[in-house]
Structure formats: structure tokens, C-alpha cells
Amino acid sequence: MTVPAALHVPPTEAPPTALATEGLGVYYGDWLAVDDITLQVPRHHITAFIGPSGCGKSTLLRCFNRMNDLIAGARVVGRVTYGDVDLYDDRIDPVQVRRRIGMVFQRPNPFPKSVYDNVAYGLRVHAMTEDLDDRVEDALRRAALWDDVKGALKKSALALSGGQQQRLCIARTIAVEPDIVLMDEPCSALDPIATGRIEDLMQELRRDYTILIVTHNMQQAARASDYAAFLTTEVDGDGDRRRGKLVEFAATNELFTHPQDPRTENYITGRFG
């Protein structure tokens, strides 16, 4: 299938971009929750989204695989460019988008099925069933879970520990060979040791995937990401309604050592004490 000409967006300058947004905003009903976000997410890097709670960083993340479509009353304005298409173009099929742009959630959410069936689920949905066993093993290996579960593939995934479950969810996501993996506070329900293993895993996965991670943990962002976007909340004219705004987007080192915006500096220093 060829892409209709109008879908093409002029290529952007280097570094190679995985996703780009232009004037992106999200409404819940008539409340503008996230306003006017413009940024370019570099390919094969880890980009972290940080900011105070309620700043809309998770909402922003859910724009990239159109999960916001599933929330009644949510509406996205502006553009999200993936490769050379606008993800919110009428002709785009959100279901296909999600297959290319996978997501790992805050709480580990394995299906109440066996470990094997969890990883095989997406493969079966997308009819990638030749060499199913190999694909499942490969995904589990890349998620650093193979050694833990190779003897218990038929056991219920719910019997795994929280950290193992989250790695299983990562394996499930990468099994269908996405380009991009979105991670929505993937470690917030985990203990420090499990968190460390997920962070190590992210460094491994960076070679194959572009990773976008939302985190409330500043150390984690500083440790694990290459680029970082700082969002904050602004009270709008009406008073109590708050909206999320992008303050600063830069290489993580830059952002943490030489923040350009005083709000970023306050937030970072406040956090680090």
C-alpha cells in the first residue's frame, strides 16, 4: 500500500526523530489538560517525561499510541508525527498504531493466563504465529526474564513477583516487534531492586527500540534517560483548573546541570534538596 501524498510531512533535521509533536493539546470535555506541546523525540534513545503530579505527563504519553481515544470525552488537538505520517490523521488506524508503538503500564497487568500465553497473546493477535515458541523465548530473553521462568512457562503469570510481572509485560510488548515502547511509571509499584533490574533492562532495550518513559522519580530520570522533558502545571485564567505545559526539553545532562528555565531549576533542586 502506498501512502497518499498528503500524509507526508517534510522531514525534520537530525538527530533522527522517532516521534514529533506540534502544538499538541488534550481536552477532557472542555478542560484543556495538556496545552501546546511541541517537541521531537529522538530515535533509539530513552526520553523521560518528568514533572509534578497532575502535570499531564501520562496524558501526553497516551497521545503517542492513541490510548486517549479510549477515554470518553478525551480529545486531542495538534499533530503527532510518527515517521512521515500524522498519527491523528483520519486515515490512520489506531489499532495499527498501537501495534507499532507499544505500552507498559504503571501497575503490572499480566493477563490471568500462563506466562507463555501472555507473551504469545499479541503474537497470536497479529498472526505472527510461525516459530511461536522461538518468538516467545526471544522476547522473554530480551526482557531478562527467561532464566526466571523457563521451567514454568505454563504456570499462571499471576504467580510471578511484581518485578517479574512487569518484565513479563515488557516481554509481551516487545514480542510483537514494535518501534517504540511507551512506559508509564513502570516502576512505581516495584521495590528498589526490581526497579534497578527494569532500569538495566531499559538500557539493553535502547539498542533496539525508542523508549519514552514517564516517571515521578527524578533520580530514575537522571540515571536512566538520555533526554528529558520537564512539564509543569499552570493555573489558567478561570482559577482552579490546571493545565500541563512543557517547560523545557533537552539532553538529560543539560537539563539537570544547566536548566534554562528557573521553574525547572526550582523543581530539580527542590527535589534533590
Partner 1 sequence: MTAKLAERPAGADLVRSGIRAQAANSSFAFVVRAAAVSVFVILVLIVVTMTREAWPAFWHSGLGFVTGTDWSPSADLYGALPFVYGTMVSSLMALVLALPVSIGIALFINEYAPRRLRAPGVYLVDLLAAIPSVVYGLWGVLVLGPFLLPYVQKVADTIGTWPVFSAVFGGPVGLKSMFLAALILTIMIVPIITSITREVFDTVPADQKAAAVALGATRWEMVRGAVFPHSRNGMVAAVLLGLGRAMGETIAVALVIGSTAQITTRIFAPADSMAAVIANTFGESSGVNRAALIGLGVVLFAMTIVVNMAGQFVARRSGRKGAGT
Partner 2 sequence: MSVETPTRPAAAPLPTYDATDLVGARLSAPRRYKNRVATACVWASVILALAPLALVIVLVVKNGLDAMGVEFFTGNIPSTRSAATGMGPAIVGTLIVTAAATVMAVPLGVLAAIYLSEYGRDGKVAATVRFLAGVMTGVPSIVMGLFVYTIWVLNFGQSAFAGALALACLMLPVVIRSGEEMLRLVPDDLRNASLALGTRKSRMIRTVVVPSALPGLTSGSLLAVARAAGETAPLLFTIGAIQTFNPNLFAGTNTVLPIQIYNGALSPFEGAHTRAWGAALALIAIVLVFTFAARLVTARLSTDRHR
- Please, which of residues 153-212 interact with partner 1 by CB under 8 A? 177, 179, 207-209
Which of partner 1, partner 2, none is residue 179 near (CB under 5 to 8 Å by kind)? partner 1
CA distance 61 to 123: 24
Q: Which three cell numbers stand for residue 43?
A: 530515535
Contact 247, 230 (CB under 8 A): yes
Contact 263, 232 (CB under 8 A): yes
Tell me the one-letter amino acid at 32: L
Tell me the one-letter amino acid at 168: L
Name the one range near partner 2 by CB under 8 A: 102-110, 200-208, 228-236, 257-265: 102-110
- Give me the least distance between CB of 46 and partner 1, in Å please: 15
Residue selected from 43, 44, 79, 107 as contacting partner 2 according to rule CB under 8 A: 107
Tell me the one-letter amino acid at 134: D
- Told to check if 130 binds partner 1 by CB under 8 A, we report no
Residue selected from 32, 67, 228, 229 as contacting partner 2 according to rule CB under 8 A: 67
- Please, which of residues 23-52 interact with partner 1 by CB under 8 A? 44
Q: 224-259 burial by CB neighbour count: b if 16+ within 10 A, else e? A: bbebbbbbbbeeeeeeeebbbbbbbbbebeebbeeb
Q: Smaller CB distance to partner 1: residue 94 or 162?
A: 94
Residue selected from 1, 6, 70, 72 as contacting partner 1 according to rule CB under 8 A: 1
- Please, which of residues 151-170 interact with partner 2 by CB under 8 A? 156, 158-159, 169
